[in-house]
Chains A and B, each alone.
Chain A
Amino acid sequence: MFKLPEEVVKTTEKFSKALTEFLEGRMNADRFKGVRVPWGIYSQRGGRAFMARIRIPAGVVTPQQLKALGECSLNYGDGVLHVTIRQDIQIHGVRIEDVGKIISYLKDFQLSPRGGGGNTVRNVTACPLAGICPKERFDVRGHAIALTEFLLQDINSYRLPRKYKIAFSGCERDCALATVTDLGFIAKRVDSVEGFSVYVGGGLGAKSMVGQLLEEFVSSKDIAYVAEAVKRVFFKYGERRDRHHARLRFLVERLGVEGFRNLYRKELEGLKRTTHIALRDICLRYPPDVEDDISVAGDSQFEAFKKYNVFSQKQGGYFAIGIRLPLGDIPAEDLIRLADIGERFSISEFRTSQAQNIYLCNVRADMVYPIYSELKAAGLARLYIDTILDPIVCRGATTCNLGLCNSKGLAEELVSNLEAADIDLDTLQGMTIKISGCPNACGHHPTGTIGLHGIVRRVGARPVPFYKILLGGKVMEGGTRLAEEVGLVPARNVPAVLKTFLTRLQGSLERYEGNVHDYLTHEGKHIMEKVLEEHSYVPPYEEDPSFYRDFGQEEDFSLVGRGPGECGAGILDMIEADLEEARAKLSLAEEKAHDTGLLKEILYLSARALLVVKGIDPKSPEEALEAFYREFIESGIVSPRFRDLKARFTTLRGGMGDFEYARALYEEVRSLYASMDSNFQFPTRERATEEVGALDLRGTPCPMNYVKAKLFLETLPTGSVVDILLDGGEPIANVPGSLEKDGHEIMAIEDLGGFYMVKVRKGMMEVKGDQNAT
């Protein structure tokens, strides 16, 4: 089984020290964030509570470990744990001072959150039923576990350009999603040698990509060389500045798979020449085949459980039992109870699955019924694991800093709707529903046979939660396809849409011979289009305000308080919608002799477009113009020639001059949007910032220190925050002023005795002088 590498055990002490320094006020929050995130400790929405993401290599976990995790959640967390789509287990609602206790407690159980977050080697995943699945080519658990142990020893594994995810699948069905992961291994046998085909550059997110074949075949003993060489290429050539294009898939895209392979081969060659890597042989146990079958008759509930939740293993007479966790959540008491049941029946191995469920493994036939009875008594025998009644859902706007729609609320509503409907799970076998609250794909929506992700649309002057519907996602070696967009529907109508769609689909599928996937991308798509059409109408607010409210929310939907953060993807949608409308009205105005009403709308739309990034949601043109004036004109982001915007709006007469004015405003807003930083949206005081690091300019005289500071800032995205160390005297007297004159913001100057630390936020550089004016 997995053993924590020495490096992780050793650095645990370092983490505790940093935590103490932070708690005693000797380390600031930003700096501590740089320590805790690579330790898998994230802040939750609101910023008070924390979450610890514990890595579970290959999803293999013992009852003792589950108990320990449950204890931690009870003692230090909010009492509910969460299984992630990458097989980790998260403890939520933890106070920061207790984080150290969790880490040191779990260490004795060979568990750690190290590398659970940040730009690190993340949990190495495997098929949830590896080693027991009758279809697999061979067991890949050991590979995933041993590779984890190897990679976690290297300090560079914690300072990559971005996260590095690795997955192992036991056969071409690719249950571990290796073809949509940064680095994916798929088991294969060539001339009876065990090995893998290797895929690189896959990933799901705002820009999803399917991995490309890097190696046709590598033998099992070479996997560490492969993973390490890819890691080194990523380390050396990966994008570190633009977080939105930093994942390995963007490097592969940039270089092309051939170009990437060349760099990788070179790295691999050097590695093999200089380093000998032997992975630890992981001791895996299998039960001996027995001749036995589950034979309890007359219990119809158990029959259903057997049908949907019990799976035959490749070891004769043994079974895996699936525990469906709604939304991937399980109360700590339940988890401890589950572990207890396991221990009492001598079950030594559990698994976490990519579908956010838990499996008990190696259950002997005669134990299935007794265990089922216990599970049922504990309320854990929920039917229909991995069916459309078991959707995969991200945490959404309830806890995520970036979430747009409350995907969790939607899923609950959806499941209760589908349960009540007359839906035949057998006909729809193999279908999955995957839901993300925003386009970032934490709910894996691009791989769902039905995928949904939240976006925002405006109706009248109000934002309305919507979902995009995608169909036909499929994961399979050589056949992975991302789901295709079919259309949009207001969030409130999603349950009705899916209910109607599935009912109709089922009717026509019954007569269809081929596979569901083919059907979905053709006939299924037309059915969905029809259903969407019937459900796309959003009545005015006065008629039915429920459309303007998200699931489980008391108040009207709003983007206020939803920081632009690093992924304001839904926000971008809104901006683009406004700009598109303004553009359309512009060409209309040109045709219609500069109609006053149209020009007013253009001014309104242009002014409103960017206000969402400031969390402002104007209800009228006056409000929009006022806010635009305050946020963009007064602050110097937009040219002062639009100072008279409000007056102009009321006195518009519709001449050529007014038309040109409206066009100029639209153009300016549009180019401002185009120049918006992909990390930081706009440089404002409220905006999230990213600490880039420190620049030590002590000993550098004036004006070289200023020149160096300027050059350093040039390389960073707008909004980045840098600590600059400066000598006293002339340097501290001059440099901050000069940087301020360049448009950067001096956030703080701290006297550190003998020298100073200046905290600078990079401003928008305004370059004077127009190019080649004629």
Chain B
Amino acid sequence: MPLRDEQIERYSRQIILPNIGGKGQEKLLEARVLIVGAGGLGSPVALYLASAGVGTIGIVDFDNVELNNLQRQVLHRTDTVGMPKVKSAQEAMRALNPEVRVVTYQVRLTSENAEEIVREYDMVVDGSDNFPTKYLLNDVCYFLKKPLSHGAILGFDGQLFTMIPDQGPCYRCLFPSPPPPGAVPTCQEAGVIGAVAGVIGTLQANEVLKVLLGIGRPLLGRLLIFDGLSMEFREVGIPRDPNCPLCGEYPTVTELIDYEEFCGLRRGRSGPHG
């Protein structure tokens, strides 16, 4: 379908780019991206993908907007406090770009519903704040062969990398087992800077656009680490682990498991999204 005049105008600054053009824009308009977590990372991702014209954006979050979220979760506003986060996110994205179709899932992502939801999308963004969800997303994306942008933040630090199934390492290659419960503090406990969430989430959005368009070099096999205090970016090469229980030569994880149990957590302990 040829672009309409209004679309040409709205997206003109990226259409001008030689490796996007009208064809790239059409690709974006047809693309479907799932964002898990409408929090600190999910906010910039949702806003930039909506503004770039990604045609369908799914968003998963179980929580309601709380006042303490607003310090870093720029999708939400003071007057949406108390509203489900997915609704608040949908309003914000619609106001920004009414042509984007926003699909909301006010659920907790679990082994039971993950496949059904993820299946509908071309790519997934991990904006979650807890290990069970991170492992779950990694596994489900690997099984369904969906690229996944992984991101995490704490304090002034952040990190991200992109998993493309069978083309590079997965989260389990990097972290074969979760840290013992309590070893890593949550944002709730340790605190986080909103701007750091903005930096990492924005980089994730950039990764998504590149993968959707098939251009550039995604963070495949490379973990990018950001230190906001010393203001340094470091890149660490991460090889594929031939012994990875998920994507290695002799996988032991062949279906979704109980991730709460895997992470040594009792059910229901996962905190609000980062």
Instruction: Give the interface of A toward B (CB within 8 A).
Output: 703-704, 706-708, 710-711, 714-715, 742, 765-774
- B1-44, CB under 8 A of A: which get 1 and which 0? 00100001100100110110111000000000000000000000
A710-B21, A771-B215, A772-B167 given; 16 more Cβ-contact pairs under 8 Å: A703-B16, A704-B8, A704-B12, A707-B8, A707-B15, A714-B21, A714-B23, A715-B22, A765-B18, A769-B216, A772-B164, A772-B217, A772-B218, A773-B220, A774-B167, A774-B220
* A708, A742, A765, A766 — most chain B CB neighbours (10 Å): A708
CB-CB under 8 A from B248, the residues of chain A are none
In the assembled complex, which residues on chain B have CB atoms less than 8 Å from the CB atom of A769? 19, 215-217
Distance in Å: Cβ of B141 to nearest Cβ of chain A: 16
Selected A-B contacts with CB under 8 Å, 5 pairs: A703-B12, A704-B12, A706-B16, A707-B8, A770-B216
Interface residues of B in 211-230 (CB under 8 A from A): 211, 214-218, 220-221
Interface centre among B3, B15, B218, B221, by most chain A C-beta atoms within 10 angstroms, is: B15
The 7 closest A-B pairs by CB, nearest first: A711-B22, A769-B215, A769-B216, A707-B12, A773-B217, A767-B19, A714-B22
A710 and B15 form a contact (CB under 8 A): yes
CB distance from B272 to the nearest CB of A (A): 35
Are B12 and A742 neighbours in the complex by a CB distance under 8 Å?
no
B211: chain A residues at CB < 8 Å are: 772
Give chain B residues whose Cβ lies under 8 Å from the Cβ of A715: 22
Instruction: Tell me, in angstroms, the Cα distance from A708 to B12 when the chains sit together.
Output: 9
Q: Judging by beta carbons under 8 Å apart, are A774 and B215 in contact?
A: no
How far does the Cβ of A433 sit from chain B's closest Cβ, in whole Å? Answer: 48
Q: Cβ of A704: which chain B residues have Cβ within 8 Å of it?
A: 8-9, 12
Is B155 an interface residue, CB under 8 A from the partner? no
**Chain A min CB distance to B217 (Å):** 5
Q: Does B168 contact A (CB under 8 A)?
A: yes
> Which residue of B16, B164, B214, B216 contacts A707 across the interface (Cβ within 8 Å)?
B16
Query: Which of B3, B164, B168, B217 lies at the interface centre, i.e. has the most chain A CB atoms within 10 A of its CB?
Result: B217
Q: Which residues of A contact B9 (CB under 8 A)?
A: 704
Cα A769 to Cα B8 in complex, Å, equals 23
A768 to B21: give the CA distance in the assembly, Å.
12
Whether B217 pairs with A770 at a CB distance below 8 angstroms is yes
Q: Name, among A706, A707, A766, A768, the residue most crowded by chain B CB atoms within 10 Å (CB to CB).
A: A707
Residue numbers in A under 8 Å from B164 (CB-CB):
772
Residues of A within 8 A of B214 (CB): 771-772
Query: Measuring CB to CB, which residues of chain B are less than 8 angstroms from any residue of chain A?
Result: 3, 8-9, 12, 15-16, 18-19, 21-23, 164, 167-168, 211, 214-218, 220-221
Q: Are B21 and A772 in contact (CB under 8 A)?
A: no
Please, which residues of chain B bring their CB within 8 A of the CB of A771? 214-215
Which chain B residue has the least Cβ–Cβ distance from A743? B18
Contacts of B215 in A (CB 8 A): 767, 769, 771
A711/B8 in contact, CB under 8 A: yes
**Nearest residue in A to B222 (C-beta to C-beta)?**
A774
Complex: A711 Cα to B3 Cα, angstroms: 9
Q: Within the complex, what minimum Cβ distance (angstroms) separates B130 from chain A?
A: 29
One of B8, B15, B18, B168 near A767 (C-beta < 8 A): B18
**Chain B residues within 8 Å of A742, by CB:** 18
Residues in B with CB closer than 8 Å to A765 are 18, 21
In the assembly, what is the distance between CA of A715 and CA of B22, in Å?
9
Per the bound structure, the CA–CA distance linking A706 and B218 in Å amounts to 29
How many Å lie between the Cα of A703 and that of B14 in the bound state?
12
Q: Which residues of B contact A773 (CB under 8 A)?
A: 217, 220
Which residue of chain A is the closest to B14 with respect to CB atoms? A707
Chain A contact residues: helix, strand, loop or mixed: loop
* Residue from B18, B211, B217, B218 having most chain A Cβ neighbours under 10 A: B18
What is the distance, in angstroms, from A241's C-beta to the closest C-beta of chain B?
A: 13
- Contact status of A768 and B19, CB under 8 A, knowing A704-B9, A707-B8, A773-B217: yes
User: Could you say which residues of chain B place their CB within 8 Å of the CB of A768?
Assistant: 18-19
- Which residues of the other chain, A, contact B19 by a CB distance below 8 angstroms? 767-769
Measured in the bound complex, the distance between the Cα atoms of B21 and A710 in whole Å is: 8
Q: List, in ascending order, chain A residues with CB within 8 A of B18's CB.
A: 742, 765-768
CB distance from A64 to the nearest CB of B (A): 52
Query: What is the CB-to-nearest-CB distance from B44 to chain A, in angstroms, rounded to a whole number?
Result: 23
A703 to B16, CA, bound (A): 9
What residue of chain A has the Cβ atom nearest to residue B21's Cβ? A714
CB of B182, distance to nearest CB on chain A (Å): 37
Q: How many angstroms from the CA of A770 to the CA of B19 in the assembled complex?
A: 10
For the complex formed, measure the closest distance between the CB of B244 and the CB atoms of chain A, giving whole angstroms.
16
A773 CA to B167 CA, complexed, in Å? 9
A774 and B221: CB pair below 8 A? yes
A770 CA to B9 CA in the complex, in Å?
28
Report the bound CA distance from A704 to B15 in whole Å: 10
By a CB distance below 8 angstroms, the chain B residues around A710 are 15-16, 21-22
Q: B220: which A residues are within 8 A, CB to CB?
A: 772-774
Q: Which of A708, A766, A770, A774 contacts B8 (CB 8 A)?
A: A708
A residues less than 8 Å from B168 (CB atoms): 774
Q: Collect the chain B residues with CB atoms within 8 Å of residue A706's CB.
A: 16
Q: Which of A715, A765, A766, A774 has the most CB of B within 10 A?
A: A774
Docked Cα-Cα span, A714 to B22, in Å, equals: 7
Are A711 and B216 in contact (CB-based, < 8 A)?
no
Assembly CA distance A765 to B220 (angstroms): 27
Provide the bound-state CA to CA distance between A765 and B215, in Å.
Answer: 14
Q: Which residue of chain B lies nearest to A711 when distances are taken between CB atoms in the complex?
A: B22
How many angstroms from the CA of A109 to the CA of B49 in the assembled complex? 68
A704 CA to B6 CA in the complex, in Å?
11
Kindly report which residue of chain A lies nearest to residue B213, judged by CB atoms. Answer: A769
A773 to B211 alpha-carbon distance, docked (Å): 11
A770 to B21, CA, bound (A): 16
* Residues of A contacting B217 in the complex (Cβ-Cβ under 8 angstroms): 769-770, 772-773
Q: B21 — which chain A residues lie within 8 A by C-beta? A: 710-711, 714, 765
Measured CA separation A772–B168 after assembly (Å): 10
Q: How far is the CB of A236 from chain B (nearest CB, A)?
A: 15
A773–B216 CA distance with the chains assembled, in angstroms: 8
A773 to B215, CA, bound (A): 9
The residue in chain B whose Cβ has the minimal distance to the Cβ of A741 is: B18
Chain A residues, Cβ within 8 Å of B221: 774
A769 and B20 alpha carbons, distance in the complex (Å) = 11
Q: Which residue of A lies closest to B164 (CB)?
A: A772
Measured between beta carbons, the chain B residues less than 8 angstroms from A714 are 21-23
A678 vs B31: C-alpha distance in the bound complex, in angstroms?
Answer: 30
In the assembled complex, how far is the CB of residue B29 from the closest CB belonging to chain A, in whole angstroms? 13
Chain B hits for A772, CB < 8 A? 164, 167, 211, 214, 217-218, 220
When chains A and B are docked, how far (Å) is the Cα of A742 from the Cα of B16? Answer: 10
Residue of A nearest to B20 (CB): A767
Q: How far is the CA of A234 from the CA of B64 in the complex (A)?
A: 56
Complex CA–CA separation, A766 to B221 (angstroms): 27
8 Å CB contact of A711 from B15, B167, B218? B15
Residues of B within 8 A of A774 (CB): 167-168, 220-221
What residues of chain B lie closer than 8 Å to A770, measured between beta carbons?
216-217
**Minimal beta-carbon separation of B57 from chain A (angstroms):** 22
A704→B220 CA distance, assembly (Å): 36
How far apart are the CA atoms of A707 and B22 in the complex, in Å? Answer: 9
List B contacts of A766 (CB < 8 A).
18
Q: How many angstroms from the CA of A766 to the CA of B19 in the assembled complex?
A: 8
- Distance between Cα atoms of A674 and B211 in the complex (Å): 25
Distance from B207 Cβ to chain A, minimum over Cβ atoms (Å): 11
Q: How far is the CA of A708 from the CA of B19 in the complex (A)?
A: 16
- Give bound CA distance, A773 to B168, whole Å: 10
Q: Complex: how many Å from CA A471 to CA B214?
A: 48
Bound together, the chains give a CA A774 to CA B218 distance in angstroms of 8
Q: How far is the CA of A772 from the CA of B164 in the complex (A)?
A: 9
Q: How far is the CA of A742 from the CA of B12 in the complex (A)?
A: 15
Nearest-CB residue, chain A, relative to B8? A707
**Residue of chain A at shortest CB distance from B12:** A707
B8 contacts which chain A residues (CB < 8 A)? 704, 707-708, 711
Chain A residues within an 8 Å CB radius of B216: 769-770
Which A residues are in CB contact (< 8 Å) with B218?
A: 772
- Per the bound structure, the CA–CA distance linking A769 and B23 in Å amounts to 16
CB distance from B149 to the nearest CB of A (A): 14
